[in-house]
Structure 1
């Protein structure tokens, strides 16, 4: 499957809107689009899926390694893959957009803000392309999409200023309707803040899809498929799935299905915990649903099951739900599952944002003793830990729970602030551990 990367000159330049407009334009021209996201994001991919109708692939060199990144790409389906970048093209030491483009050998379509420029737009694009050459990056900045550009003289001035070897792939016209609302952790989810269809199609009509298809290229084939040769295990995993627990990588769910059995339930709706060998609580927004989570009874049931030995794995929002209490930004204290010896409080600014590396201090649900795994953290809450709390990991990189450790462990359960990708092997370890319970 051919593809290209939609990179930006900076954060906030409008990569997500440009990516959605490009996807809409390609779909309207009859192409099946596989969306993807560079970096460990859950929110932008929800907008991709709302447009393309298929889950967006996560492409992160830190989380997956180069081969794992290529494997995840090749698991996609469609005629063309549109990869939205992260931050500015060259920003990020763990896995920048440029690193992803280089690992996949995909061309870059650069999103440049043209609101107050014409010839300067071309100069900016030329600088980004030549920086790749002078810094030794093996990436091809193939051309631009001009964000917030008018038609007529404005568009023509940009076209005329571009050198012959930098394509003009079109523009995104200024339109207040093409703004996705923000909240903590980023944009609102795709199901909550879908862009108006008319505004998105207007933007799509200004893009030159055939030129985009012409520059798209095929990435290298990964050396292995990355699947565990030991095959399936006798494990049934219950996955929390609702508006409070919505941050999960498609590859994680695929991994559970490949090697075991999966069943979903909604703690917000008050679903009983399904019969299972282990529970996975992904991240999300439990703070926005804390009252329901306290009242429905699912979390209290989960706490009782965990105390009886049912393994529960929670990541970020999952850790919050596994705690003794959650105090919201409004100051409301709500009782949670009571599995972990921690009380969590929402803060007015983010407490951690980074790629993370962890060393396992002892054997746990996601790692053997001494094993090192990589992940990502981004959260607005902090956890007040009881004095007798036990940690599963030492942080080599990142903040974790207390600055030095992550992974609160109690009974046979584990809660972390870190999100991991299945390429880390963490979910294979989880499946194999709960099978033996």
Structure 2
């Protein structure tokens, strides 16, 4: 499966829309397209999946390690894999450049050409030359010009590109080629998809043949890239919240849970009660947008009773918020499950955005005593915790709940602000604890 990385020169240049247009162009050419996202993001992959109908893979060396990242790439299925970058190409210690170099994939720059022609070529040349100053070998092969008109505008960009940088087409400046934004990023792919006719129109201006020629496959991963199950498949039932309040789940996590247990989805924000199960996983998402429905539904009350009886419950970010005593949104306070001794309040500014590393203070649902787990946090909420609150983790990197600790724990319930990937082994330990 040959691959290409579509990387931005900066955040906000239109990487996601460009990636979707290139997906559509390959599909119109009769190719089966797999997609992936560099970094820990959940939202951009939802747009990929809305266009291709297949899960979009997470490629993040911090979450998975290099071998795990290669394994996630090869779990996709298609003729070509389009990898959308994060931020600008070289930004961050876990950067798109590092992902591209580890996978040995060519990089196509998405450049905002709205107000430039020759400057687009100068920008691309600078990005290619900068690669020689980095420890990673980054192969910048050309550009896709976002928000570029045809005619003189397009010709000016194409003609200014030096030898070794190829012009792979443009994304026209259309109002319907946009995705609304809110806190935590773009709207979800299922709620605000880019119109199909707009993607069809944009796909006409993409050089599929040129992209296909430069695409190449990464190396195959070693034989031991996935965390081995401790005891193989079980007969346990894991209830997983799956609705608009709990959207942030990596495909590899669900796949890993299904390999080890029976996954029983339920929709707390839509009025579902907690099903019969041996454990519960509440992923992140937008519980703040559905706080009234969660508070008025039966699932959180049942969850509180079952948690008090010792049912293992794992909540990540939005799941932590739902497990708290209360959730305050826009001046209105909603009663939550009350399992964890915290009152959560939504804020106007992000409280944390980083890759994180946590060290277990004692044995936890997801990590052995003294063990570490890596993840990611991004939230617009803060938790005021009771004085006798117990934490499962010390923060090595990141913010966690209070800057020093993460993983509120009560009974056999664990709530963290950190999202972790299946490659961490955390979900294997969770299943083994059931």
**TM bin (shorter chain):** over 0.9
Q: Is the 2:271–2:297 Cα contact (8 Å) retained in structure 1?
A: yes
Q: 2:268 is matched with which residue?
A: 267
Q: Distance in 2 between matches of 1:169 and 1:363?
A: 52
How far 1:297 sits from its partner (Å)? 1.5
Q: 1:324 is matched with which residue?
A: 325
Q: Distance in 2 between matches of 1:316 and 1:239?
A: 14
Q: 2:200 is matched with which residue?
A: 201
Q: 2:378 is matched with which residue?
A: 378
How far 1:231 sits from its partner (Å)? 2.1
Describe how 1:222-301 pairs up with structure 2 within 5 A.
222-224=221-223, 225-228=225-228, 230-301=231-302
Structure 1: gaps spanning 5 or more residues: none
What is the TM-score with the length of structure 1 in the denominator? 0.98
Deviation string for 1:101-126 (max 9, x for gaps)? 01100000101111111111111101
Describe how 1:338-417 pairs up with structure 2 within 5 A.
338-417=338-417
How far 1:164 sits from its partner (Å)? 2.2
Moved more, 415-424 or 113-122: 113-122
What secondary structure, in the 3-state scheme, does the structure 2 residue paired with 1:176 have?
A: coil
Q: Distance in 2 between matches of 1:372 and 1:157?
A: 52
How far 1:227 sits from its partner (Å)? 4.4
What secondary structure, in the 3-state scheme, does the structure 1 residue paired with 2:6 have?
A: strand
Q: 1:213 is matched with which residue?
A: 212
Deviation string for 1:354-408 (max 9, x for gaps)? 0000000000100000001100000000001011100000000000001000000
Q: Distance in 2 between matches of 1:363 and 1:141?
A: 45
Q: Distance in 2 between matches of 1:356 and 1:41?
A: 14
Q: Distance in 2 between matches of 1:160 and 1:98?
A: 26
Deviation string for 1:216-262 (max 9, x for gaps)? 11101111241415422332111000000000000000000112211
Q: Distance in 2 between matches of 1:419 and 1:407?
A: 11
What secondary structure, in the 3-state scheme, does the structure 1 residue paired with 2:197 have?
A: helix
Q: 1:315 is matched with which residue?
A: 316
How far 1:300 sits from its partner (Å)? 0.9
Q: Distance in 2 between matches of 1:408 and 1:134?
A: 43
Q: Distance in 2 between matches of 1:383 and 1:78?
A: 43
How far 1:179 sits from its partner (Å)? 1.4
Q: In the alignment, does 2:96 pair up with 1:97?
A: yes
Q: Distance in 2 between matches of 1:247 and 1:298?
A: 19
Q: Distance in 1 between matches of 2:222 and 2:195?
A: 42
Q: 2:420 is matched with which residue?
A: 420
Q: 1:60 is matched with which residue?
A: 60
The alignment covers a number of residue pairs equal to 432
Q: 1:189 is matched with which residue?
A: 188
How far 1:53 sits from its partner (Å)? 0.4
Q: 1:135 is matched with which residue?
A: 134
What is the TM-score with the length of structure 2 in the denominator? 0.98
Deviation string for 1:4-52 (max 9, x for gaps)? 1000000001000100100111111111111110010011011000001
- Greater than 4 Å deviation, 4+ residue runs: none
Cα distance, 1:406–1:136 mapped onto 2, change above 3 Å: closer
What secondary structure, in the 3-state scheme, does the structure 1 residue paired with 2:348 have?
A: coil
Q: 1:172 is matched with which residue?
A: 171
Q: Distance in 1 between matches of 2:331 and 2:43?
A: 26
Q: 1:11 is matched with which residue?
A: 11
Q: Distance in 2 between matches of 1:354 and 1:85?
A: 16
What secondary structure, in the 3-state scheme, does the structure 1 residue paired with 2:194 have?
A: coil
How far 1:422 sits from its partner (Å)? 0.7
Q: Distance in 1 between matches of 2:195 and 2:189?
A: 12
Q: 1:49 is matched with which residue?
A: 49
How far 1:133 sits from its partner (Å)? 1.6
How far 1:163 sits from its partner (Å)? 1.4
Q: In the alignment, does 2:304 pair up with 1:303?
A: yes
What secondary structure, in the 3-state scheme, does the structure 2 residue paired with 1:86 have?
A: strand
Q: 1:336 is matched with which residue?
A: 336
Q: Distance in 2 between matches of 1:203 and 1:164?
A: 26
